[in-house]
Amino acid sequence: MQIKPDQNHKRRLLSGMRPTGRMHLGNYVGALENWIELQDRFESYHFVADWHTLTTDHEHTRDIPQNTLDMVTDWLAAGLDPVKSPIFIQSQVKQHAELHLILSMLITTARLERNPTLKEQVRDLELESRLSYGHLGYPVLQTADILMYKGEAVPVGEDQLPHIEMAREIARRFNYLYSPDHPVFPEPDGLLSKFPRLPGLDGKRMSKSLGNTILLSDPPEAIQKKTRQAVTDPLKVRRNDPGRPDICLVFTYHNRFNSDAVTEIRSGCESGALGCVECKQRCAARIIEHLAPLRERRQHYEAHPGEVEDIIADGTARARLTAEQTMNDVHEAMGFG
């Protein structure tokens, strides 16, 4: 997508995550870092999509508040600026529910059933005969989140692009039906991150349920220990064995966190001069160094827990103001006085 230079108007950016608690390096490289980089170029809103958690996990709701706090603390530690960009919680801005209801009339169930992201989830979670009505509507709720702030840009992972496409279709449909002369909603663009997703320590998708993560809040010793256990080229058993960096997970991490040294590490690995133990130690050291400023900021928030709650309260109040304005536009367009 092209980012238009515009003197007076910064484009609106909207991004959210489901509250999964403490963030891992995969969340950071794939998403958070990107948000932080974009927050100067866009008028950004960041939010916790707690209602979306119910779509796959409605039986376990007790942990959501703590997971929300842990996640937002990591967002702040990573460098999101809550003054520039409000941070808020979806379920505290009730307008999302109303807009969701209205928009749910503007898309067919057949269209929602064709959603490839949903199909994958149904397969992975074996939901064939027990898919809920709410889960089917996941992209409609996401559309409400985006359109509520008239979001023009939405940073997402590849798997979310089908949802952005549905948001565009729904926005178009609303404008066509209710406001053909002055479109109420922009059609949002998805912004893909420059970096591919960082795999977990076992080479699979990084995920807390697979136990293969490095957390942003892990202390240095834990990062060293976890990195020591990461999988490498199975054919490189001893130090002098030649290795294949292109299939080595640790090399992927070097690429991301130790870019100045990758040429030297590649040749050391391939020749056998560099052993995996040393390679991993160097990798862990760079990750620890990269996360040092985050650790420092987190210590501040951990010492002042009320601050995170104040930041969320402030962000929620600001989000509500925008949501109210949008809902006024919606009501007016639809003729609900």
Out of 16, 26, 199, 200, point to the residue binding ligand TRP (CB under 6 A): 16
Rounded CA-CA distance 138/164 in Å is 12
The answer to whether 200 and 212 are in contact (CB under 8 A) is yes
| Separation CA 112–CA 55 (nearest Å) | 14
> Which one of 11, 24, 52, 254 is in contact with ligand TRP (CB under 6 A)?
52
Q: Is 250 in the site for ligand TRP (CB under 6 A)?
A: no
Of 103 and 154, which has the nearer Cβ to ligand TRP? 154
> Are the CB atoms for 89 and 50 separated by under 8 Å?
yes
When asked if residue 71 is in the footprint of ligand TRP (CB under 6 A), the reply is no
Q: Which stretch binds ligand TRP (CB under 6 A): 67-75, 153-161, 229-237, 319-327?
A: 153-161
Task: Using the rule CB under 6 A, give the single segment among 12-20, 195-203, 235-243, 274-282 that binds ligand TRP.
Answer: 12-20
Nearer of residues 47 and 178 to ligand TRP, judged by Cβ: 47
**Contact with ligand TRP (CB under 6 A) among 56, 92, 160, 207:** 160
* DSSP 8-class letter at 24: B
Decide whether 49 or 288 has the Cβ nearer to ligand TRP.
Answer: 49
Q: How far is the CB of 195 from ligand TRP (least distance, A)?
A: 16
Q: If you write DSSP's letter for every residue of 316-327 in order, what string do you get?
A: HHHHHHHHHHHH
- Considering beta carbons, is residue 31 or 283 the nearer one to ligand TRP? 31
Whole-angstrom distance, CA of residue 329 vs CA of residue 337: 10
The smaller minimum CB distance to ligand TRP, of residues 146 and 287, is found at 146
Smallest Cα–Cα separation from 169: which of 144, 187, 194? 187
Q: How far apart are the first and last CA of the chain?
A: 37
Q: Is 223 in the site for ligand TRP (CB under 6 A)?
A: no
- Nearest Cα neighbor of 280 from 259, 320, 303, 252 is 252
Cα torsion at 190, 191, 192, 198 (round to 10°)? -110
Mark the segment that binds ligand TRP (CB under 6 A) among 9-17, 128-136, 304-312, 322-330.
Answer: 9-17
Q: Which is nearer to ligand TRP, 190 or 200 (CB)?
A: 190
Residues 288, 291, 294, 296, Cα dihedral to 10°:
30
Nearer to ligand TRP, 208 or 244 (CB): 208
The alpha carbon torsion through 189, 294, 283, 198 (nearest 10 deg) reads -20
The reply to whether 14 sits near ligand TRP by the rule CB under 6 A is yes
Interacting stretch for ligand TRP, rule CB under 6 A, among 14-22, 172-180, 270-278, 295-303? 14-22
d(CA 177, CA 40): 35
Min CB(287)–ligand TRP separation in Å: 24
| Residue 50 binding ligand TRP, by CB under 6 A | no
CB neighbour list of residue 318: distance below 8 Å, 6 or more residues apart: 86, 88
User: By CB under 6 A, which span of 103-111, 122-130, 142-150, 171-179 interacts with ligand TRP?
Assistant: 142-150
142 binds ligand TRP (CB under 6 A): yes
> Quick one: CA dihedral 311, 42, 321, 54, positive or negative?
negative
In terms of CB distance, is 133 or 336 closer to ligand TRP? Answer: 133
In whole angstroms, what is the distance from residue 82 CA to residue 88 CA? 10
- Nearest Cα to Cα of residue 234 among 261, 207, 203: 203
49 makes contact with ligand TRP (CB under 6 A): yes
Note whether 17 binds ligand TRP by CB under 6 A. Answer: yes
Judge whether 62 and 288 are in contact, CB under 8 Å.
no
Stretch that binds ligand TRP, among 140-148, 242-250, 264-272, 299-307 (CB under 6 A): 140-148
Binding site for ligand TRP (CB under 6 A): 14-18, 49, 52, 142, 145-146, 154, 156, 160
